[in-house]
Amino acid sequence: MPPFEDSYFEFSDRPVKLRGCDCPGCSQPGDYRAPKNRDQLDQYFWFCLDHVRDYNRQWDYFAGMSVNDIETHVRKAAVWERPSWPIGGGWRAREQNIRDEVMREFFSEAADAPPPTQPMPKVERDALLLLELTPPVSFAAIKAQYRILVKRHHPDANGGSPESEERFKNINQAFTVLKHIYGTDEA
Ligand SMILES: [Zn+2]
């Protein structure tokens, strides 16, 4: 399907009053546009109100399309915020129904998603990072990891290197912070 042309809306969103209805024999002004067919949504007929209603009624635009197709189509057509074809008549009601359906699905998907978590305090995040842990973690996991790390980085196990000493100190500090945050004095 060709995309909507913005330029189209710029110069002809409001139809010229003198345009005649495209319905043969009708002398009313053609104030209401309707796409000529599904594959040429950028080409329009212009009808009077009565004839655009007839046209809409006769053309079941979404007939034979699956819900997925319709959804894709509606999204592609960008009917969400733009003025769309044509004003009044069955089109608008049908679009509204489909929009409602798509939005309902959208929001039910959103409702299934886990609620956004509270942002983690930086001190906690940094402490976990120092212990090479990725939240969410239990205090038991923190403790287990702490035990592994203090063993690995203990200065005695590393020939007393200043780097190990620094790392060891940081690990202990991080664990102290986490003990406080996770609400237990147990070590
Ligand atoms: Zn007419």
Give Cβ neighbours of residue 185 (< 8 Å, ≥ 6 apart).
Answer: 179
Reply yes or no on whether the pLDDT at 7 is more than 60.
no
Give yes or no: residues 25 and 75 share one domain: yes
Give yes or no: residues 55 and 131 share one domain: no
Give yes or no: residues 58 and 96 share one domain: yes
Render pLDDT for 37-91 as a digit per residue (tens, 0 to 9).
666 667 788 888 888 887 776 665 555 566 666 666 666 654 444 444 444 556 6
- Range name among 11-25, 65-79, 116-130, 150-164 with the lowest pLDDT average: 65-79
- Pick from 116, 80, 94, 112: nearest CA to 4: 80
Ligand 1 centroid, distance to 25 Cα (angstroms): 8
Last residue of some domain: 71, 89, 112? Answer: 112
Tell me the C-alpha distance between 187 and 67, whole Å: 57
Q: Which two tokens stand for residue 76?
A: 């592609």
Query: Torsion-angle region of residue 164: left (phi > 0), alpha (psi -120 to 50) or beta?
Result: alpha
**83 preceded by a cis bond (ω within 30 of 0):** no
pTM: 0.37
Give yes or no: residues 39 and 86 share one domain: yes
Last residue of some domain: 112, 141, 169? Answer: 112
Q: What is the pLDDT, as a whole number, of residue 83?
A: 43
Q: Is residue 47 part of a domain?
A: yes
Domain containing 176 equals 122-181
Ligand 1 centroid, distance to 99 Cα (angstroms): 29
Give yes or no: residues 46 and 70 share one domain: yes
Reply yes or no on whether the pLDDT at 2 is more than 60.
no
CA 25, distance to chain mean position in Å, is 48
Give yes or no: residues 94 and 138 share one domain: no
Give yes or no: residues 24 and 69 share one domain: yes
Give yes or no: residues 21 and 55 share one domain: yes
Give 171's pLDDT tier (boundaries 50, 70, 90): very high
Q: What is the pLDDT, as a whole number, of residue 146?
A: 92
Q: Is residue 170 part of a domain?
A: yes
Q: Is residue 1 part of a domain?
A: no
Measured CA to CA in angstroms, residue 138 lies from 67, 128, 133 at distances of 43, 11, 10
* Share above pLDDT 70 across residues of the chain, in percent, rounded to a whole number: 52
Q: Which two tokens stand for residue 129?
A: 């990072």
Sign of the alpha-carbon torsion through 153, 156, 158, 164: positive
Ligand 1 centroid, distance to 51 Cα (angstroms): 5
Hey, which residues does 29 pair with through a beta bridge?
20
Give yes or no: residues 100 and 13 share one domain: yes
Sign of the alpha-carbon torsion through 150, 151, 157, 158: negative
Ligand 1 centroid, distance to 42 Cα (angstroms): 20
Counted domains in the chain: 2
Give yes or no: residues 95 and 64 share one domain: yes
Ligand 1 centroid, distance to 117 Cα (angstroms): 58
Tell me the C-alpha distance between 92 and 84, whole Å: 8
Residues with CB under 5 A from ligand 1 (ion): 21, 23, 26, 28, 48, 51
Question: What is the rounded average pLDDT of the residues 86-100?
Answer: 59
Q: Is residue 187 part of a domain?
A: no
